[in-house]
Structures are given as C-alpha cells and as structure tokens.
Amino acid sequence: MAKSVEIHLKVNGKNHVGHCESRTLLADFLRDHLNLTGTHTGCEHGVCGVCTIFVNGEAVRSCIMLAAQANGAEIVTIEGLSTEGRYHAVQKAFHENHALQCGFCTPGMLATVIDFLKTNPSPTKPEVKEALSAVLCRCTGYQNIVKAVMEAAADMREGTVGASANV
C-alpha cells in the first residue's frame, strides 16, 4: 500500500527495519519508532534547526524529511556522536564553555556545528556565527556557543581531541 512504507536504514551504526506511514516524518520515526528521543522538534516547519541530524554524512533537518526518504540511508543522531563514552571534540567544548542551558536545541546545534567544521575546519568568528544562524537557541545568547566552536575547531585541527568515527 502506498500509504505505508518499509524502510531499511542504519542509525548510529546499527541496522534497523521499520514500518510506518508514508507521511511519518523522519524526526518522528527516530523518536517514536526507534525510541531515539535525543532528536527534538522545535517547529516542525524546518526553520529552527533543532531537529538537525546527519543523513549520509550531511546535516539535514529531520522534521521536513519523510522517514520513507531515509530508506537506505546512514543516519547519525546525537546518541551516536560520542564513541565509547568519550565526547566528540564539539561536545567537550560545549561542556567546558557552557554552550548549552536547557539542552533542547543542543542536538541540532551539535549536528550543524560538526557538519560545518567538516566544510570549514579553520573558520573565522563571523563564519561560525553565520553557520550557527541555522539553529535557534533561546537560552544561551550564542556567545558561549561561538566560543565553544572556535575551541573545538582548534582542538580538532591540532588533533588534541578526537572527532568521532561516526561523523
């Protein structure tokens, strides 16, 4: 039936088979069908960026993608960013710089930042601010997030803190 779909996908390194309606949003599929509630939804219309995850290595807004479209994809969510209990460089920098308060936008921030740093490993502050403008945060005022990203970028360039094999 074209109103439901079967999807095969890899999430955080694990293979999954799911059945859902064709209209099920990818964010809801992850949260409700796979119980990966680390991905949040802040607007369900693709503006706030809170729902951003990795799909095939790129940051994507999961509230405006159908789960059906993720058939065959490799997905990484916030639950898959740290390896063996060790923070990704960006997670570490967020913690040390108080770059999160309520934590609701944090999953989207992390994915957006990590993807951005892959495309631009030595960003300037204005470039970081521009990249961060993809995700809305109501708590932090962004200042500490900018600081954290500059620090994480430096750490990753110097190889002092690992990235993650997953992303």
- Is residue 8 a contact residue for other proteins (CB under 8 A)? no
Token digits of residue 31: 């949260």
Which of 19/58 has CB closer to other proteins? 58
* Total H helices, total E strands in the chain: 5, 5
142 binds other proteins (CB under 8 A): yes
Least distance to other proteins from the beta carbon of 109, Å?
A: 10
Query: Does residue 55 bind other proteins (CB under 8 A)?
Result: yes
Spatial separation of the C-alpha atoms in residues 20 and 107, rounded to whole Å: 24
Q: Is 130 in the site for other proteins (CB under 8 A)?
A: yes
Subset of residues 13 to 42 that bind other proteins, contact rule: CB under 8 A:
21-25, 28, 31-32, 35-42
User: What token pair was written down for 86?
Assistant: 């060790």
d(CA 69, CA 128): 30
Asked if 11 interacts with other proteins (CB under 8 A), we say: no
Write out the two tokens for 159.
């190889």
**Which of 132/153 has CB closer to other proteins?**
132
Residue 8: φ, ψ to 5°: -115, 125
DSSP 31: I
Decide: is 152 part of the binding site for other proteins (CB under 8 A).
Answer: no
Tell whether residue 98 is a contact of other proteins (CB under 8 A): yes
Q: How many residues bind to other proteins according to rule CB under 8 A?
A: 85
The two structure tokens encoding residue 123: 């960003």
